[in-house]
Amino acid sequence: MAAFGSLSTRLTDSLAKLRTKGKLTPSDIDGTVREIRRALLDADVALDVVKDFCGRIRERALGAEVASSLNPAQQVVQIVNQELVAILGGDQRRLELAKTPPTIIMLAGLQGAGKTTLAGKLAKHLAGEGHTPILVAADLQRPNAVTQLEVVAGQAGVAVYAPEPGNGVGDPVKVARDGVALAKSRQHDIVIVDTAGRLGVDAELMQQAAKIRKAIDPDEVLFVIDAMIGQDAVATAKAFQEGVDFTGVVLTKLDGDARGGAALSIRGVTGRPILFASTGERLEDFEPFHPDRMASRILDLGDILTLIEQAQKSFDEEEARRVAEAMLTDSFTLEDFLKQLQQVRKAGNFKQMLGMLPGAKGLREAIDGFDEGEFARTEAIILSMTPRERKQSKILNGSRRLRIARGAGVTVTEVNQLMQRFDQAAKMMKTVAKGGMPNIPGMGPVPGAHGMGKRQPKQQVSKGKRSGNPAKRAAQPIEAPAQQGSVFGGGQAAPNLADMSPEDQAALQKMLGGGR
């Protein structure tokens, strides 16, 4: 997949060139816009949409205030991101429920887009919100689509109406109509009608979909589309818009590595909002669509929001505040360190989190080399200490260290290394905290993340600095990935990560701050 990675690298390169300059010249902008055009095409955004988009970027970049606090590259990235988010939906819309139940939802799309699976996911999602959905099996075309829907309904624990065996037998329009009538009589408040997959060029089947729509007068018609689709997204979306006039879009298979440019194409061409994203094979893998995240994905700027949100879920605000205070009062202990460590682990698969960072494609090798076992070893060492030792690390003499090493099943050297790193980290935190560098919750922005117009702070300084803000702290590996290896235990990954050039690190950091 190197061929694909190189595109985001190229974009980063072209932005890196911009970074060294004080202001944007038209030729700078042209170069960058060309790379963006290519990146968008490689992400399968429809050509017309790309042209339109790049035109707007160029215009805005040319007219941009040069004196603004951002540097040129950040400015372009910001414009690109703003435009992407604007097209992708800006505001999100929720599913619109009918004033008088049942709410009728019809699913339509190409073959293999994932309609039947999505029906189950949607039903499960709605049932979880306290609704009583019923699935209607109106895909009588594909062999055993009916059986599949029945199984899926069983898994989701919802009712299903499947009067016809399918496999080409039965009238889907009648099934849909009867299904809605049944839902009314049985007081289901939501009806989800699964229909057969059809091609945009198949006039007959399109007609049938239109008939179903007319017969049941749905409140929402969801166009289900595979995130992997290429340039054909436009033709298909237009055909379905004319055929069944969908009200919303669902993107499926977003758990793959397709960049999902189709989302942009469909928004750009039909103007219909994307309501949901389907992200896996289990029925739970279903979530509301986030335009801002999709924007980052299409341009490979990383899914920072998801990262932050994920981290926030598992980081305990209270604990973070306490640690921050401890740092201020010079009493940051190994216990605090351990707790931080455990919180990071709780945040989930660390590799996965690293992978979500922008530019992470280039980091892939380093990420693969990252050894999560280091966490465990570091934890074991600290856990082998007595409470007193954890609080006053100064008392750790040779014999204590030997005991700890035995207890943790490591060598004394490893214990020594950990202590060294801890001392350094604690010292740096103290400096940072005392110097009033505001990376404590409620005390303002983190240097380097917000004041990004200027030169980046030296790597040395940022090394041990662990932000008190949970979200920021989670994102910190961006600033100096090397610190993961060094603070948590000299992992093999450290040299790899350190290999990353300062430019790359600066680029990562900049994306984080300047991207939105």
Pull the structure tokens for residue 201: 């060029």
Q: Please enumerate in sequence order all residues whose Cβ is within 8 A of that of 2, keeping only pairs 6 or more positions apart, or say none.
A: none
Q: What track of x and - describes contact with another protein for positions 206 through 225 (by CB under 8 A)?
A: x-------------------
Minimum CB separation from another protein for residue 201, in Å? 5
Minimum CB separation from another protein for residue 10, in Å? 11
C-alpha distance from residue 508 to each of 74, 351, 494, 514 (Å): 11, 17, 17, 10
> Pick from 43, 87, 191, 497: which binds another protein (CB under 8 A)?
43
Backbone angles phi, psi at 352, to 5 degrees: -60, -40
> Pick from 258, 307, 382, 494: which binds another protein (CB under 8 A)?
258
- Should residue 4 be labelled a site residue for another protein when binding is judged by CB under 8 A? yes
Q: Which stretch binds another protein (CB under 8 A): 122-130, 181-189, 198-206, 411-419?
A: 198-206
Query: Measured between alpha carbons, how far is 326 from 319 in angstroms, rounded to an integer?
Result: 10
**In one letter, which amino acid is 209?**
A
- Should residue 226 be labelled a site residue for another protein when binding is judged by CB under 8 A? yes
- Should residue 230 be labelled a site residue for another protein when binding is judged by CB under 8 A? yes
The bridge status of strand 286-288 relative to strand 274-278 is antiparallel
> Pick from 26, 55, 143, 444: which binds another protein (CB under 8 A)?
143
> Pick from 42, 139, 336, 414: which binds another protein (CB under 8 A)?
42
* N residues, the chain: 516
Query: Measured between alpha carbons, how far is 245 from 307 in angstroms, rounded to an integer?
Result: 35
Task: Please say whether the beta carbons of 408 and 415 come within 8 A.
Answer: yes
- Scanning 43-171, the segments in alpha helix (DSSP H) are 47-63, 72-88, 115-128, 145-156
- Should residue 147 be labelled a site residue for another protein when binding is judged by CB under 8 A? yes
Pull the structure tokens for residue 506: 């600066």
> Pick from 142, 174, 322, 400: which binds another protein (CB under 8 A)?
142
Task: Please say whether the beta carbons of 8 and 42 come within 8 A.
Answer: no
Q: Which stretch binds another protein (CB under 8 A): 110-118, 266-274, 393-401, 452-460?
A: 110-118
- Should residue 41 be labelled a site residue for another protein when binding is judged by CB under 8 A? yes
> Pick from 96, 217, 245, 257: which binds another protein (CB under 8 A)?
257
Task: Please say whether the beta carbons of 249 and 275 come within 8 A.
Answer: yes
Please name the helix (run of DSSP H) or strand (run of DSSP E) that holds residue 509, with its range, or none: helix 502-514
Task: Please say whether the beta carbons of 334 and 390 come within 8 A.
Answer: yes
Number of CB atoms found within 10 A of residue 514's CB: 22
C-alpha distance from residue 63 to each of 31, 51, 67, 380 (Å): 16, 18, 12, 57
Q: Which residue, 1 or 67, is less far from another protein as judged by CB?
A: 1
Query: Measured between alpha carbons, how far is 417 from 414 in angstroms, rounded to an integer?
Result: 5
> Pick from 132, 167, 416, 424: which binds another protein (CB under 8 A)?
167
- Should residue 156 be labelled a site residue for another protein when binding is judged by CB under 8 A? no
Residue 290, helix vs strand vs coil: coil
> Pick from 236, 270, 296, 467: which binds another protein (CB under 8 A)?
236
Q: Which stretch binds another protein (CB under 8 A): 53-61, 131-139, 227-235, 499-507?
A: 227-235
Q: What track of x and - describes contact with another protein for positions 367 through 406 (by CB under 8 A)?
A: ----------------------------------------
Q: Which stretch binds another protein (CB under 8 A): 109-117, 302-310, 388-396, 499-507?
A: 109-117
> Pick from 72, 89, 102, 114: which binds another protein (CB under 8 A)?
114
Q: Which residues bind to another protein, rule: CB under 8 A?
A: 1, 3-4, 38, 41-44, 46-47, 110-114, 116, 141-145, 147-148, 150-152, 155, 167, 199-203, 206, 226, 228-233, 235-236, 238-239, 242-243, 253, 255-259, 261-262, 281
